[in-house]
Amino acid sequence: MERFRPEYHFSPEAYILNDPNGLVYYRGEYHLFHQYNIEEQIHWGHAVSQDLVHWVRLPNALFPDEIGQIWSGSAVADEKNHRLAAFFTYSEHRTGRQSQGLAFSYDAGRTWEKHPRNPILTHPEKPDFRDPKVFWHEQTQKWVMVLSGGTEALFYGSDDLENWSYLSSFGKGHGSHAGVWECPDLFPMETDGELCWILIVSINQGSPAGGTGMQYFVGEFDGIQFRNSNPQEEVLWLDYGKDFYAGVTWNHAPGGRRLMIAWADNWQYRDFLPTTPFKGQMSFVRELKLTDGNGRGTGRRLIQEPAEEIKYLHHDAARIAVSSFDQANGEKETVFLLPFTYLSQELELEFYRGGAWPGEFGLKLDYGGGQEFYVSVEPENNRCFVDRTHAGINAHKDFPGRYEGYAGCRGNCLKLRLLLDNSQTELFLNGGETVMSNLIFPEAQKVMINVYMRDGKLEQVKGNVYHLLADS
């Protein structure tokens, strides 16, 4: 395996990957298209999976042409015409403008025919006009397209996927505008019998950890206009780590599941990371659900957890149950070591308090030679932290850092789930109330994972640890 290549997160064979595109489930396959930069020529790469964890790379799907480069977009199953339809943004060679193109596939995504009338949608007044996400709106029996319009989301409607009419816009005064909005997604979710609509946008700067990030809105959509149900100044972040961007969801996922994958990287340092012969990798697939508040005030909130299909990667397993800890003083004290030293693991741990919570507890991932990665919880402040300052190679000034999220220490138990995969970490607290995704580049072949405490003690730590292998 090449140095730093993840074991079970998708990565390209070579060249540069970024945004996931065209996510669609069709005839038993999950399709993952993606931005694929091959010597400055932007294509759509292509992979398929039957189980969301074992991916087969296929030949590139869409290629640059005389109009322009092929930027991000989406795909839908046009069952009426027995085909897939892909929508993408042209970065036009001649004008530099952004416009929308369309292509069809009649062989389950293996080959594509571009529409003879491309580009099918233009907006000369918008320099940022990109990333079309198309879906079927059942109530109005129409196709809807949501696009990035710079600092707002633009909505269009169509009867036939080829001719589009402007519907409305959303965004002015709502959420964060620290950077350009990109890669929007809009979909319905139900909780307690109530239907809500979720609008997700990626934002090019201004995330909690710095650089690129993702925010979302919970509201209503009537087929024409999206209305935010929360105070317009409220910002809901999808991920509090540094490396989760351009995430979108699969169209037509079976069972009504809402499944998302994202680019695990940050535009601050994409070109400087030490991977070779590839750059860029995906997050693990997440399942999104809607719940009430997550302990952080009123209103609906998204929770995220790894797709249940991760169980197909479980190889070795160990059960953890440790009790009766000694009191820890003002220093961080290791209370026990987890059994595995593999670089690709899944940890599912539950931390129980007896009386008061300790001042701090968490995990120290020790790679040797002073390279270490911390996952820390500070119950008094209800905060969690990940610290990759000394976790290995820091290839850019914006790479090292300590990042903060909400811990949710409300009862007697805190649940912590960590996906570890060579150069990638994804942390899920309390069933996905808070998620933090961060790359690391340790120069090691194994890791010692320590459970530690400071100022107090825990009653018990229990759970499961798994070695994950993509060929298991």
Task: Tell me the per-residue pLDDT of 231-253, one tens digit each, with 9 for 90 and over.
Answer: 999 999 999 999 999 999 999 99
DSSP labels, 117-158? T---B--TT-S--EEEEEEEETTTTEEEEEEE-BSSEEEEEE
CA distance 206 to 144: 29
Return mean pLDDT, the chain: 96
Domain segments of the chain: what residues?
15-306, 313-468
Q: What percent of the chain has pLDDT over 70?
A: 98
Residue 294 confidence (pLDDT)? 59
Structure tokens of 16? 């540069």
Q: Catalytic residue positions?
A: 19
Reported for 234-237, long-range contacts at CB under 8 A and 24+ positions apart, including other chains, are 234/175, 234/299, 235/175, 235/176, 236/175, 236/301, 236/302, 237/207, 237/208, 237/213
**Architecture of domain 15-306 in CATH?**
5 Propeller (2.115)
CA distance 457 to 466: 26
Task: Tell me the per-residue pLDDT of 2-28, one tens digit each, with 9 for 90 and over.
Answer: 889 999 999 999 999 999 999 999 999
Mean pLDDT across the stretch 168-185?
Answer: 97
Task: Tell me the per-residue pLDDT of 411-455, one tens digit each, with 9 for 90 and over.
Answer: 899 999 999 999 999 999 999 999 999 999 999 999 999 999 999
15-26: strand order across its sheet: 56-62, 41-49, 29-38, 15-26, 278-279
> Would you tell me which CATH number, out of the four given (3.40.50.2300, 2.60.120.560, 3.90.45.10, 3.40.50.300), belongs to the domain 313-468?
2.60.120.560
Mean pLDDT across the stretch 32-55?
Answer: 98
pLDDT at 472 over 90: no
CA distance 296 to 119: 44
pLDDT at 326 over 80: no
Contact call for residues 245 and 266 (beta carbons, < 8 A): yes
pLDDT band at 295 (very low <50, low <70, confident <90, very high): low
